[in-house]
Chain A
């Protein structure tokens, strides 16, 4: 699946929920399934700044595909990050660098997209793209 297809299927999944509580419970569940960052990378270097909760992100590349792992000490933050990673993980640096994260809005999490929102979702998106661009540069 392409990034766009994965994003669309996430939006579909969330359409099942009418109640915000169910939506948030699902986000928390998804967070529990996210591939966790290796403890050894939970250091200041991998910490994303601008979050009220702590968020760590790590990326590695193999066979031209980027694999992300992350963690957060807040479960909602963790869930929201897992949405991003589900969409971008396993894709090429090029595709990730050009990815469009507007599906977050379609899922109905618009309030989390405000730059001042303390979960650092915006910083997280930036960091994902930074990793992708760094891998792009390396391969060129």
Chain B
């Protein structure tokens, strides 16, 4: 299937809705994406016909649910090109995936060790490491960004050394859309034997992910940012790393045997999955991934690139426009400010005209502070957005600016 925008739009029922009597224009895909009918049906069907707990029943429904659940693991492993489905741990989202690793690293770190992150991290890939360092006495070191929002690679080089026990970095910045040269970064880290965790929250819906090619130790993403359901996510980890890490939560299914003297843990990935999992979440995630695979990731990249170029051009025609993040490699995320107008004012008025954008620090306060700005207005585009919508948005923005002048 090629890229048929009309068909894609028709698949997303929510796009038909109005807000304040105006046609909704949804430009907040970085926060969460909308869901196609296929994903919604998958969840409904699960509860209508399939609901049952997994891994524990002898009855037909449970066996079926378990099979479907484990097949989703296979599909997701294949989708990101993991070596084996054992390397796919199901979580509640990127945040939990990162916290799981941060927690499991707590007995691997000592005073004098270092953890490396960048200043463009989302709080979810910032605070867990800050806490880990506080608790272990390790030092948190931060790779800064250049003025255009790209990572300062020379500075990264200067921070790499044998004391660094982990590098955690985002694949794509949620504020600026910067695509980090993640493969090169990982290769550099590996020269010092440093494992790398990649926060793929903003990448999974927009570019092709191949963990084998990247050679990262860990990769994290959330289903809700790739047209899938909320509350489901993935932690990919190389088997030998997952095998050696401590479990993070304890309880049902993650154990092998339990006696009053000792508990032994199940094998990977189950030792990291305590408690009843989100089964419909897993099934619907597969549906979402199939959906974008059907359209073709290459087609998506091409289409969203076109939107990015168009929107950037249109924005730059506005007086006093300042785009935060102009790296050469970026996805369809644009953060901007106009003169000294507060982003909140722009966002509030755009909302009244049916345009959903995000304003504020986008859970990346260290980055925003770095630019000494009060936050930004952010548009983040997805597969169902169009140039016509960008035109309407620009018109609404001009109206907004006239009101605030």
Contacts of B359 in A (CB 8 A): 52, 118
Please report the total number of A residues contacting B with Cβ < 8 Å. 15
Selected interface stretch from A56-64, A71-79, A86-94, A124-132: A71-79
Stretch of A7-15, A20-28, A95-103 with 4 or more beta carbons under 8 angstroms from chain B: A20-28
Chain A, Cβ-Cβ closest to B20: A20
Q: Pick the contact of A24 from B360, B374, B403 — CB < 8 Å?
A: B403
A25 (CB) vs chain B CBs: closest residue: B403
Identify which of residues 233-282 in chain B touch chain A, using a CB-to-CB cut-off of 8 Å. Answer: none
CA distance A52 to B80 in the complex (A): 37
Q: List B331-345 residues whose CB lies under 8 Å from chain A.
A: 342-345
Instruction: Verify if B375 is at the interface (C-beta below 8 Å from A).
Output: yes
Chain A residues whose C-beta falls within 8 Å of the C-beta of B342 in the assembled complex = 53, 73-75, 77
Task: Tell me which of A20, A21, A24, A118 contacts B344 (CB under 8 A).
Answer: A118
Contacts A25-B403, A28-B404, A52-B359; A76 near B374 (Cβ below 8 A): no
Q: Does A6 contact B (CB under 8 A)?
A: no
Tally B residues with Cβ within 8 Å of A: 15
- The answer to the question of A82 belonging to the interface, with a C-beta cut-off of 8 Å to chain B, is no
Shortest C-beta distance, A91 to chain B (Å), equals 29
A28, B346: Cα distance in complex, Å: 13
- For the complex, give the distance between the alpha carbons of A54 and B348 in Å: 15
Q: Contacting A28 at CB < 8 Å: which of B20, B343, B360, B403?
A: B403
Bound-state CA distance A21–B348 (Å) is: 11
Q: Output the least CB separation between B371 and chain A (Å).
A: 16
A56 to B345, CA, bound (A): 17
Q: Are B345 and A76 in contact, CB atoms less than 8 angstroms apart? A: yes
> Measured between C-beta atoms, what is the minimum distance from B349 to chain A in Å?
6
Question: Shortest CB–CB separation between residue A93 and chain B, in angstroms?
Answer: 31
CA A21 to CA B22, docked complex, whole Å: 14
Q: Which residues of B contact A75 (CB under 8 A)?
A: 342, 345, 404
Contact indicator B344/A52 (Cβ below 8 Å): yes
Closest 4 CB pairs of A and B: A74-B342, A74-B344, A53-B344, A52-B360
Given A53-B342, A53-B345, A73-B342, 20 more A-B residue pairs with CB atoms under 8 Å apart are A20-B352, A21-B403, A24-B349, A24-B352, A24-B403, A52-B343, A52-B360, A53-B344, A53-B374, A73-B374, A74-B342, A74-B345, A75-B342, A75-B345, A76-B344, A76-B349, A77-B342, A77-B344, A118-B344, A118-B360
- Point out residues on B near A: beta carbons under 8 Å: 20, 342-345, 348-349, 352, 359-360, 374-375, 399, 403-404
